Structure formats: structure tokens, C-alpha cells
């Protein structure tokens, strides 16, 4: 059975005053129906740009340089702008980081959710019933009485639920959530992700969760792809990657996560800083910060090494371990 979304060797260029950079460089991954893939990495690693590439929502300075993006077996890069407009929202939804930027402060909640139904030949009463129903699904209290409310009259958690409702109104097959809980407190974060997980179980939609919170990944995601400087360095099922990380960057991220049973005066950290996309190392991009780099790491980007059918790692250390 083919995956719901399959991205192969994706390259996304961004023009900047200093020249053209590869914000996404040779990225490949897939998402199956009913499963959640986490894209994890530091800020600037290319997570959001990867999602915008899938959605066809790159900025004017952006361009797909190479690769293939297949959704339900169809190549999205071959679609016209009009065809992509029909796919966005109806088949692929995207929840943004800040719910206040996703909602228009000048329109009521009811009007904004109703927009998804206005393309259908429905009466005003039918649209209203649909809006109330989808707001009820995302646990908005007394939705029939909140239709005339404006975004500023809702809490951050409630606004994010409305943003989810807008995306779920058309029953998308794939939902992309770009750090949907960043501005929310921990309790509300868990409520939002529990809600998404429950809706996913009811509908079977696939989901991509962009985050830097490894606790949320371990709790809510099935698969994970670790990104660094525009590339994926390790990918596989969350349980396998987190229990036995192979790439030094993945190991560093997990070591830096505080735990209740950790007895240490200071948290572990990854030395140095990520490279700028205008001045990338000649070989492995993590090499300047890597505690176990080999001679060829500085001059050659590592090949992919597979561990079984569902795990892959881009690290020269794997050549020695597998041999």
C-alpha cells in the first residue's frame, strides 16, 4: 500500500541578499494514513520550509529546485496554482504556530469557520449547523452561543481549537501542524494534541507535527525525522529512534532533555551553533559540533545507512558499526 504523502529528494531554494540558499536539501520522507510524523530540529533547520513546500505556499523568494511530492499517488509539483487551491484546505490542512495570526480579528468565529462550507450549495441554516457541529468536535463549549464572538474574546487554547476546526471542516486526508502549541501552557498543549490524536483516530487522517518538544513527540507521534541545517539526519519509528539513537545530533538532542530521575548539576548541551545556510561545511553539516567525527566527515556528506526496513541514518560512523 502506497503512503498518503511521499516526498522524495526535495530541494527548496530561497533567494536572499547574500545569494540563493538550499533551505531544504535532498529531503525524503513519507506519511501513512492514520499515522503522525514528527519533524524535529533546531530553529532554522528547514522544518517549516519543508511543510510550506508540500502546501505550495512558498514565499515569492522561494522555489522548488528538485524532487517529487506525491499526495495520494499524484505529483503535487505538476499541479497548477488553481489545482493546488482546490487541494489546500479540502484535502490538506495546515495549522500555524500562532492562532492569532491564523484568525482574522475583524470577523466572527462563526464566519471564519463557515468559509469552508460556502463553496457547497448549502442554505444558511445548513451552514450554521455544520459550523456548530465542527466547533463541537473540537470541544468549544456551547458552540451555538459562540458563533458571534471575535477571536480576542477567546483564550489562546480556544483560538487554537477554532483554527483546528477551520482545517477540519473539509475533512482533510492530511493535516500539517506547524508547532501548534508553542504559545500555549503545558496543560493546554496536552489537551490540543490529545484532541488532534482523537480526531485522527476517528477519521484516519495522516498528520505531520513540526516541533522541537521531544516529550510531545514521544507521547503523540508514530514516526520521527530529525532535521539539521536543511537535511534529515535520522528517521524511523519514534520508539526505535528515541530508545537507541544512532546519529550524534539525535543523541545530543535527547541527552539535553531534562528528566525527573536525572541527577546532574547541569544539563547536557551540544557545543557550538548550527551553521548559517550561506556558509555550510563541506561535508557533514554537523561535523563542526560532532564529538565523534571521522576524517572524511569534514569533506564528504555521509551516505544513508539503513537499519532494517524502517530506519535510516546519515552518518559515517554507521559504516564502521555495520561492517
CATH of the domain at 315: 3.40.50.300
Asked if residue 28 belongs to a domain, the reply is yes
Neighbours of 292 (CB within 10 A): 10
Q: What is the C-alpha end-to-end distance of the chain, expressed in Å?
A: 32
Beta strand residue intervals within 135-274, DSSP E: 174-178, 206-211, 223-228, 231-237
- Span 55-79, mean pLDDT? 94
- Tell me the β-bridge partners of 92: 88, 174
CA dihedral 235, 237, 239, 244 (to 10 degrees): -40
Tell me the pTM.
Answer: 0.90
Asked if residue 99 belongs to a domain, the reply is no
**Which structural domain range is residue 187 located in?**
5-91+170-259+269-322
Asked if residue 165 belongs to a domain, the reply is no
Asked if residue 81 belongs to a domain, the reply is yes
Asked if residue 114 belongs to a domain, the reply is no
Cβ atoms of 176 and 51 within 8 Å: the answer is: yes
Highest mean pLDDT out of 96-110, 160-174, 223-237, 243-257:
223-237
Share of the chain above pLDDT 90, in %: 62
Number of domains in the chain: 1
How many CA atoms are closer than 13 Å to the CA of 196, on its beta-carbon side?
Answer: 33
Neighbours of 145 (CB within 10 A): 10
Share of the chain above pLDDT 70, in %: 96
Closest by CA position to 235, among listed 250, 220, 248: 250
Spatial separation of the C-alpha atoms in residues 285 and 69, rounded to whole Å: 25
Identify the H or E element spanning 64.
strand 62-71
pLDDT value at residue 288: 93
pLDDT beyond 70 at 265: no
pLDDT value at residue 74: 94
Asked if residue 31 belongs to a domain, the reply is yes
Spatial separation of the C-alpha atoms in residues 43 and 55, rounded to whole Å: 20
Give 25: exposed, middle or buried? Use CB within 10 Å, 0-12, 13-18, 19+: buried
Q: Which triple of cell numbers denotes residue 104?
A: 482574522
CA dihedral 313, 281, 211, 96 (to 10 degrees): -130
pLDDT value at residue 264: 61
Asked if residue 128 belongs to a domain, the reply is no
pLDDT value at residue 263: 62
Spatial separation of the C-alpha atoms in residues 105 and 162, rounded to whole Å: 13
Asked if residue 115 belongs to a domain, the reply is no
pLDDT value at residue 181: 77
Amino acid at each position: 500500500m502506497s503512503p498518503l504523502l511521499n516526498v522524495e529528494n526535495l530541494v527548496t531554494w530561497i533567494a536572499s541578499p547574500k545569494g540563493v540558499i538550499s533551505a531544504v536539501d535532498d529531503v525524503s520522507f513519507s506519511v501513512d494514513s492514520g499515522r503522525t510524523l514528527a519533524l524535529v530540529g533546531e530553529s532554522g533547520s528547514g522544518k517549516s520550509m519543508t511543510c510550506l513546500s508540500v502546501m505550495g505556499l512558498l514565499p515569492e523568494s522561494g522555489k522548488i529546485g528538485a524532487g517529487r511530492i506525491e499526495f495520494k499517488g499524484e505529483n503535487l509539483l505538476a499541479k497548477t496554482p488553481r489545482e493546488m487551491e482546490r487541494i489546500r484546505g479540502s484535502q490538506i490542512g495546515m495549522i500555524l504556530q500562532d492562532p492569532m495570526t491564523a484568525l482574522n480579528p475583524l470577523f466572527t468565529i462563526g464566519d471564519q469557520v463557515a468559509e469552508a462550507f460556502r463553496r457547497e450549495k448549502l442554505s444558511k441554516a445548513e451552514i450554521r449547523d455544520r459550523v456548530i457541529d465542527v466547533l463541537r468536535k473540537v470541544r468549544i463549549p456551547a458552540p451555538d452561543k459562540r458563533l458571534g464572538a471575535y477571536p480576542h474574546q477567546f483564550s489562546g487554547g480556544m483560538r487554537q481549537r477554532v483554527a483546528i476546526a477551520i482545517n477540519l471542516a473539509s475533512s482533510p486526508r492530511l493535516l500539517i501542524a506547524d508547532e501548534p502549541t508553542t504559545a500555549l501552557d503545558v496543560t493546554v498543549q496536552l489537551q490540543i494534541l490529545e484532541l488532534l490524536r482523537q480526531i485522527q483516530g476517528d477519521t484516519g487522517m495522516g498528520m505531520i507535527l513540526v516541533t522541537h518538544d521531544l516529550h510531545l513527540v514521544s507521547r503523540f507521534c508514530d514516526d520521527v525525522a530529525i532535521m539539521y541545517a536543511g537535511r534529515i539526519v535520522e528517521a524511523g519509528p519514534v520508539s526505535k529512534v528515541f530508545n537507541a539513537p544512532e546519529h550524534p545530533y539525535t543523541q545530543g538532542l535527547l541527552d539535553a532533555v531534562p528528566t525527573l530521575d536525572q541527577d546532574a548539576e547541569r544539563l547536557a548541551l551540544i557545543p557550538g551553533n548550527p551553521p548559517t545556510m550561506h556558509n555550510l561545511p563541506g561535508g557533514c553539516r554537523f561535523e563542526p559540533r560532532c564529538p565523534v567525527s571521522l576524517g572524511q566527515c569534514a569533506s564528504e556528506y555521509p551516505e544513508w545507512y539503513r537499519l532494517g526496513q524502517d530506519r535510516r541514518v546519515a552518518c559515517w560512523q554507521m559504516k564502521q558499526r555495520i561492517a
